[in-house]
Amino acid sequence: MTVAIYPGSFDPVTRGHLDIIQRAAKVVDKLIIGVLINRAKDPLFTIEERVELIRECVRDLPNVEVKSFTGLTVDFARDNGATVIIRGLRAVTDFESEMQIAQTNHIIDPQVDTMFFTTSLEYAYLSSTIAKEAAFYGSDVSRFVPDLVARRMKEKMDALHREEE
Ligand code: ADP
């Protein structure tokens, strides 16, 4: 049985992430999405909120689980019996750092390999940061993120704007 993890910040999950999740879930037996607890200064969503949002979005994928984690990605993989790390590649700009991370991970734990999925063309430009920028300035972001996430982003942004007043 092949178990894979898909690690990331997912602040918040986008349609681009979901595209990778759906495709990866077809090629492995079990996919565990790992939401990284990092020290990024100003996340829009808490870890719990990010996990909950992804869970809602993957409800109909029976072989997908969502967890949060801290520390090394390879340790998270090993603790979950996973031998594969899934990552998405959007453009050449992703390539250099992703290659470096994958090689480092493979050196730390040779049992673990990274599998890259190239982004579907319609999401090649998309990142959580872009979606947040658009939402902040009042754009409808349902093209970028699932509808539920778009609604939650709007609530967050409305609260932020109220704080600014
Ligand atoms: P990180 O902070 O680890 O890059 P992200 O949540 O931004 O976490 O991304 C997690 C993974 O999803 C990365 O492999 C990233 O390249 C990939 N990814 C991000 N946006 C997209 C997208 N629009 N299409 C496909 N893959 C994406």
Start-end of H helices in 58-121: 73-79, 92-108
Domains and CATH numbers, the chain: 3-124 (3.40.50.620)
Is the pLDDT at 41 greater than 80? The verdict is no
| Ligand 1 proximity of 128 Cβ (cutoff 6 Å) | yes
| Ligand 1 proximity of 126 Cβ (cutoff 6 Å) | yes
pTM: 0.94
Q: 115-159 pLDDT, tens per residue?
A: 999 999 999 999 999 999 999 999 999 999 999 999 999 999 999
Measured in degrees and rounded to the nearest 5, phi and psi for residue 63 equal -100, 20
| Ligand 1 proximity of 88 Cβ (cutoff 6 Å) | yes
Residues of the chain above pLDDT 90, percent: 89
Average pLDDT, the chain: 95
Is the pLDDT at 79 greater than 80? The verdict is yes
Q: 8-25 pLDDT, tens per residue?
A: 999 999 999 999 999 999
Among 119, 120, 123, residue to substitute to test ligand 1 (most atoms within 8 Å of Cβ): 119
22-26 contacts, C-beta under 8 A, 24 or more apart: 22/61, 23/117, 24/86, 24/115, 24/117, 25/61, 25/63, 25/64
In which band, very low, low, confident or very high, does the pLDDT at 94 lie, cut at 50, 70 and 90?
confident
162 compared with 51, residue with greater pLDDT:
51
Residues of the chain above pLDDT 70, percent: 99
Query: Considering only CA atoms, which of 147, 137, 129, 38 is closest in space to residue 90?
Result: 129
State the pLDDT at residue 44. Answer: 95
